[in-house]
Amino acid sequence: MRGPRCRPIRRSGRRRSRRHTFLGTVSVNRDDGALLRRVPGIGPALASRIVLLRQSEGAYTSLDRLLDVDGMSVSRLERARRYLTL
C-alpha cells in the first residue's frame, strides 16, 4: 500500500523528446542545418555553426576540420563521425 511519502517524484514539467535513431549519412559540405541536427551529438546551434563555417571558409576537406567549429569536441565528433560524409 502506498502512503503519501511513496508517490513518484515529478522532476520537471518538461517532457523528454523522443529522438528517432538516425540511420543515414549527412554530407557536411552539401546538406543544410536541418539535416545536420538529426545526427547524434549535433544540435541546432552546432548545426548552424557548421553551416556558417562552411559558407565563410569553403568546403570541408576533412571531418577533422569540424573541430574548428565552436562547440565541437573530440568526443562529440567521434560520436557523430559515422553519420557524416564530405
Query: How many helices and strands in the chain, by DSSP H and E?
Result: 3, 2
Neighbour count for residue 81 (Cβ, 10 Å): 14
3-state SS, one letter per residue, for 45-56: HHHHHHHHHHHH
C-beta separation of 26 from 35 below 8 A? yes
- 83 domain-assigned: yes
Q: Would the pLDDT of 9 be above 90?
A: no
Residue range 27-84, pLDDT digits in tens: 999 999 999 999 999 999 999 999 999 999 999 999 999 999 999 999 999 999 999 9
Report the number of distinct structural domains present in the chain. 1
Average pLDDT, the chain: 84
In angstroms, the CA 54 to CA 48 distance is: 10
- 11 domain-assigned: no
pLDDT of residue 73: 96
- 34 domain-assigned: yes
- Give the CATH number of the domain where residue 74 resides: 1.10.150.310
- 77 domain-assigned: yes
Residue range 11-36, pLDDT digits in tens: 555 555 545 566 689 999 999 999 99
Q: Give the mean pLDDT of 1-20.
A: 53
C-beta separation of 49 from 65 below 8 A? no
- Give the three-state DSSP class for 79: helix
- 2 domain-assigned: no
- For residue 79, what are the domain limits? 30-86
